[in-house]
Chain A
Amino acid sequence: MEEKAPKTSFIGQAWLVILLALLYGGGLAGVQLALGPRIAENKRNETYALIPEMVPGAATEKTVELEIVGADGKNVRVYKAVSADDQHLGWVIPASGGGFADRIECIIGVDATLSVITGVYVLDQKETPGLGDLITTADFLDRLKGKATDLPLTVVKRNPQAANDVLSLTGATISSVAVCDIVNNAIANTQAPLRQLASADAATPKQD
């Protein structure tokens, strides 16, 4: 093998690799064509399927996706929740922040004027199993439902008294605080632009 000149023929040596590369590339392109739309659909449904839960009465197919500029100057993608008969019911805002262990991703449902929290859902978290990961349960998230947004949510360990008090999970105060912080920051960040959009909407007469 080594007696021949070292660069015998690049093609002669590598033709199989090149052929396989083309073959596999074609195969993967085919897989992408076949499955790509389905995967995109799955990703979209992750948020869209939850919108009726976050803003009661909203119809998924009527949802409008918008990009606004938040108070921190960065773009935020929000979803306008619309009912089946074209009533603007509220907004769904995806947000994320640092939890105890890693990042927590949530979506927050608010009403059209951003004055009441209509629902919170935790999409992704890596908190401690059995303790912090109970932030995904309805038991905890229901404590945030119906809270007014005029004051930021405060986590208390017992006896919630004020309207913006949220009872923390036993043994998972930091995770509870993390979720409330994420909700507070998201609302503070998007309040001004979304309220502006909502009032502009109400001002322009609907063209049917």
Chain B
Amino acid sequence: METVSALVLIFLSAAIINNFVLYYFVGICPFLGVSRKIGMAFGMGLAVTFVISIAAFLSWAFTFYILRAGAPIPTQVWALLGGDPETTVDLSVLSYIIYIFVIASSVQFVEMYVRKFFPALYKSFGVFLPLITTNCAILFACLEILKHLQDPMNLWGLHEALALAIGGGIGFTIAISLMAGLREELDMCDVPKALRGTGIALLVAGILAMAFMGFTGVDKGLANALAMLSN
């Protein structure tokens, strides 16, 4: 029960309370660039969620088994090569390179999948699908997972990593869809010339972020409620 409530908290925190776009500012480029039409925005959000889940799975596996200080596989390889078994083998300096390649591969994989099974969607995405590689939100999720794999006494399992990733992806989808809906309405408004396009989108995003600030502290209340439930 405690695990489930912890997972629910991580998921809700990533999706709504500490929304990746409106609180952590990651994924702004597609947030401003792709949010013109709701259909497109929602599709982009789902694609990002898909990629982020695969990337989180792979980066958790790489970090847990290979990259972190004292990881099992390099330690065994080092011992096999005749090294001193007491030394801590730390390959974490390669983390960022591995992550960006994991992300690029995940995007390639998703691209192939969408091309095969949803060819119309693939055409409508155009160049935006490979551009998901430079979406900061995915690298940010991998970095958060890395952060939680640093303290050997408090390591995150795969379930927590996936809860964060899927929550983050869904939060991104919520934010981008909201933005698309707002911008579709703005298209029919008389916006001052200087603010048309990105300017007004940023101002609206600011107000949206303020609205989402209303969720601060909800995770504390939720944690208390869940703790009371499990007692």
Which residues from chain A sit less than 8 Å from chain B, CB to CB? 24-25, 28-29, 31-32, 36, 74-77, 98-102, 128, 174, 178
| CB of A183 to closest CB in B, whole Å | 16
Q: A24-B97, A28-B94, A102-B18 in contact; A74/B153 too (CB < 8 A)? A: yes
Kindly report which residue of chain A lies nearest to residue B153, judged by CB atoms.
A75
| CB of B147 to closest CB in A, whole Å | 11
| Complex contact B93–A77 (CB within 8 A) | no
Q: Would you call B216 an interface residue if the criterion is a C-beta within 8 Å of the partner chain's C-beta atoms?
A: yes
Interface residues of chain B: helix, strand, loop or mixed (majority): helix
CB neighbours of B219 from chain A (8 A): 98
Q: Would you call B193 an interface residue if the criterion is a C-beta within 8 Å of the partner chain's C-beta atoms?
A: no
Q: Count how many pairs of residues, one from A and one from B, have CB atoms less than 8 Å apart in the complex.
A: 28
| Complex contact B93–A98 (CB within 8 A) | no
Q: Would you call B220 an interface residue if the criterion is a C-beta within 8 Å of the partner chain's C-beta atoms?
A: yes
| Complex contact B93–A101 (CB within 8 A) | no
The docked-state distance in angstroms from the alpha carbon of A100 to that of B97 is 35
CB neighbours of A24 from chain B (8 A): 97
| CB of B185 to closest CB in A, whole Å | 31
Q: Offer 11 A-B interface pairs, CB within 8 angstroms, sorted by A.
A: A24-B97, A25-B94, A28-B97, A32-B90, A36-B90, A74-B153, A98-B220, A98-B223, A100-B216, A101-B217, A102-B18
| CB of B216 to closest CB in A, whole Å | 5
What 16 new A-B contacts, CB under 8 Å, besides A29-B93, A98-B219? A25-B94, A28-B93, A28-B97, A32-B90, A36-B90, A74-B153, A76-B153, A98-B223, A99-B220, A100-B220, A101-B216, A102-B18, A128-B216, A174-B217, A174-B220, A178-B220
Kindly report which residue of chain B lies nearest to residue A43, judged by CB atoms.
B150
Chain B positions 204 through 231: 1 when the CB is less than 8 Å from some CB of chain A, otherwise 0: 0000000000001101100100000000
The docked-state distance in angstroms from the alpha carbon of A161 to that of B220 is 28
The docked-state distance in angstroms from the alpha carbon of A128 to that of B216 is 10
The docked-state distance in angstroms from the alpha carbon of A32 to that of B93 is 7
Kindly report which residue of chain A lies nearest to residue B92, judged by CB atoms.
A32
Kindly report which residue of chain A lies nearest to residue B217, judged by CB atoms.
A100
| CB of A20 to closest CB in B, whole Å | 11
CB neighbours of A76 from chain B (8 A): 153
Kindly report which residue of chain B lies nearest to residue A174, judged by CB atoms.
B217
CB neighbours of A32 from chain B (8 A): 90, 93
The docked-state distance in angstroms from the alpha carbon of A174 to that of B220 is 10
The docked-state distance in angstroms from the alpha carbon of A67 to that of B143 is 27
CB neighbours of B223 from chain A (8 A): 98
| Complex contact B18–A77 (CB within 8 A) | no
Residues of B64-96 contacting chain A, CB below 8 A: 90, 93-94
The docked-state distance in angstroms from the alpha carbon of A25 to that of B91 is 11
The docked-state distance in angstroms from the alpha carbon of A152 to that of B18 is 31
Residues of B164-178 contacting chain A, CB below 8 A: none
| CB of B196 to closest CB in A, whole Å | 32
CB neighbours of A75 from chain B (8 A): 153
The docked-state distance in angstroms from the alpha carbon of A57 to that of B185 is 65
Chain B positions 134 through 165: 1 when the CB is less than 8 Å from some CB of chain A, otherwise 0: 00000000000000000001000000000000
| Complex contact B220–A77 (CB within 8 A) | no
| Complex contact A77–B153 (CB within 8 A) | yes
The docked-state distance in angstroms from the alpha carbon of A32 to that of B91 is 9
| Complex contact A31–B18 (CB within 8 A) | no
The docked-state distance in angstroms from the alpha carbon of A59 to that of B132 is 52
Kindly report which residue of chain A lies nearest to residue B154, judged by CB atoms.
A74
| CB of B6 to closest CB in A, whole Å | 11
The docked-state distance in angstroms from the alpha carbon of A29 to that of B93 is 7
CB neighbours of A101 from chain B (8 A): 216-217
CB neighbours of A74 from chain B (8 A): 153
Across the A-B interface, the 3 shortest Cβ-Cβ residue pairs: A32-B93, A100-B217, A28-B93
The docked-state distance in angstroms from the alpha carbon of A174 to that of B217 is 9
CB neighbours of A99 from chain B (8 A): 220
| CB of A96 to closest CB in B, whole Å | 9
CB neighbours of A77 from chain B (8 A): 153
The docked-state distance in angstroms from the alpha carbon of A28 to that of B220 is 41
